């Protein structure tokens, strides 16, 4: 493989890769669900709690000021990560799902009305389906769905047919968690804007693989989770254009999101605090900066190139297995490999691979409508990160042959 990364040195940064599973060295191929965390991030978490644990923004003592500074440094770091125009366009959330719900609840309830149309795609995660269904039930909006082809790619001509003057919102996944498909989001956004619709991108999978520039994309909202980018769980961000966020009412009420409270009236805080009620997930926000610094040290283009080499290697290798069918063969993909094997249930594949120390994800991957599109109940999914190797993929191939011998 031709790449500029020292993969063994990178593997040494991730303590969990030394774990044994069923007596075998861990082979972790469930990165689309969550990535493992480098020592740098683990040290940042413990360092916060050991040295400057304090509530933020309101205190004037030394620890509070140090914690506030570290917290806000992460906001500026995430602004740079997405190339947002303003730091206050970065809203801290609990993750991608929380960000989508914030937009559906705040923007949707305020600006959408009965008869307005919302467009999503066939390959959406449940997190980008259910909030819009709830909004449609409440407000009388209409949900439309963009179809896909057999390779797992959005049919853009069908998308254009769905767009009308009634289209008010488009919410699509940047990269499919089940298929690995990279969607042509810049074109999707431009066409939506042409009919006056706003656009949200679900960036949960894209954020660890692709360089994201929200100004270049011109998306109105972008939601992601840090645990997919070598960062901690329970923490994400919502990017929103400043004018839109200013026009939206708060999503939750409580401390921090207020300027002044009386029993007669409450005046709300300015951005970004208007959407950040209560004591936030301070330690994980602080550690997020270190995860992004780690990614930057390796270089996102270097990571993407290496992951693509792993995907190519794995795709060719599994294609030699009789009865195996890859689900999702888009021309533009990230390192996600979903497959089914004739006559063997995906859950059985996962259990038997786990006995060999190999972690893959099985099931519908929170994309049941997508599984229905392919007339399957689920897949086995191997998803690769920068610390994975071709030797581990070889173990996967051996493991799949063993599964076939036992159950085929």
* CATH, domain 7-30+299-407, list 3.90.1150.10, 3.30.460.80, 3.10.580.10, 3.10.180.10: 3.90.1150.10
Mean pLDDT within 253-271: 73
Banded pLDDT at 3 (limits 50, 70, 90): low
Catalytic residue at 141? no
Domain segments of the chain as ranges: 7-30+299-407, 43-296
For the domain covering 43-296, report its CATH number: 3.40.640.10
Pairing type for strands 236-240 and 90-93 reads: antiparallel
> Average pLDDT of the chain?
95
- Distant-in-sequence, close-in-space partners of 16: CB < 8 Å, separation ≥ 6: 26, 28, 36, 37
Report which secondary-structure segment, H or E, holds 193.
helix 185-194
Check the CA dihedral 372-229-210-349 and report its sign: negative
CA atoms within 13 A on the CB side of 157: 1
Banded pLDDT at 58 (limits 50, 70, 90): confident
Q: How does pLDDT run across 290-321, given as a tens digit for each residue?
A: 999 999 999 999 999 999 999 999 999 999 99
**Which one of 136, 141, 219, 366 is the catalytic residue?**
366
Tokens representing 405? 């011998």
Q: Output 382 or 250, whichever has higher pLDDT.
A: 382
Banded pLDDT at 261 (limits 50, 70, 90): low
Report which secondary-structure segment, H or E, holds 207.
helix 206-209
Q: How does pLDDT run across 146-183, given as a tens digit for each residue?
A: 999 999 999 999 999 999 999 999 999 999 999 999 99
| Range with lowest mean pLDDT among 21-30, 58-67, 297-306, 389-398 | 58-67
How high is the pLDDT of residue 268? 75
Tell me: pLDDT of 195 over 90. Answer: yes
Banded pLDDT at 408 (limits 50, 70, 90): low
Whether the pTM exceeds 0.75: the reply is: yes
């Amino acid at each position: 493989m031709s790449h500029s990364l020292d993969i063994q040195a990178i593997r040494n940064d991730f303590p969990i890769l030394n774990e044994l599973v069923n007596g075998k060295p861990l082979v972790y191929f469930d990165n689309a669900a969550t990535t493992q965390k480098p020592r740098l991030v683990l040290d940042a978490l413990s360092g916060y709690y050991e040295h400057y644990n304090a509530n933020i923004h309101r205190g004037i003592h030394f620890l509070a000021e140090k914690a506030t500074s570290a917290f806000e440094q992460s906001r500026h770091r995430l602004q740079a990560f997405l190339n947002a125009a303003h730091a206050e366009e970065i809203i801290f959330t609990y993750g991608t799902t929380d960000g989508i719900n914030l937009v559906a609840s705040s923007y949707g309830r305020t600006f959408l009305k009965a008869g307005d149309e919302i467009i999503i795609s066939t390959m959406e995660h449940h997190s980008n389906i259910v909030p819009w269904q709830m909004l449609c039930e409440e407000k009388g909006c209409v949900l439309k769905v963009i179809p896909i082809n057999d390779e797992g790619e959005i049919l853009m001509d069908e998308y254009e047919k769905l767009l009308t003057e009634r289209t008010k919102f488009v919410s699509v996944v940047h990269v499919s968690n089940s298929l690995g498909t990279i969607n042509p989001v810049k074109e999707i956004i431009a066409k939506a804007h042409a009919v006056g619709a706003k656009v949200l991108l679900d960036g949960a999978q894209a954020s660890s693989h692709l360089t994201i520039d929200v100004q270049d994309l011109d998306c109105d909202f972008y939601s992601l989770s840090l645990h997919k980018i070598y960062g901690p769980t329970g923490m994400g961000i919502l990017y929103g254009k400043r004018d839109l966020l200013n026009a939206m009412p708060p999503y939750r009420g409580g401390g921090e999101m207020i300027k002044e409270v009386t029993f007669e009236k409450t005046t709300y805080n300015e951005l970004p605090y208007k959407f950040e009620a209560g004591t936030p997930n301070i330690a994980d926000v602080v550690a997020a900066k270190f995860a992004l610094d780690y990614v930057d040290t390796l270089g996102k283009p270097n990571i993407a190139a290496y992951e693509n080499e792993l995907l190519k290697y794995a795709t060719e290798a599994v294609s030699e297995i009789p009865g195996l069918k890859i689900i999702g063969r888009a021309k533009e993909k990230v390192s996600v490999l979903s497959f089914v094997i004739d006559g063997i249930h995906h859950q059985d594949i996962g259990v038997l691979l786990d006995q060999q120390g190999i972690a893959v994800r099985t099931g519908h991957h929170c994309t049941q409508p997508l599984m229905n599109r392919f007339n399957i109940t689920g897949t086995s999914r191997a998803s690769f990160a920068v610390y994975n190797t071709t030797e581990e993929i070889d173990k996967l191939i051996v493991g799949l042959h063993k599964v076939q011998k036992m159950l085929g």
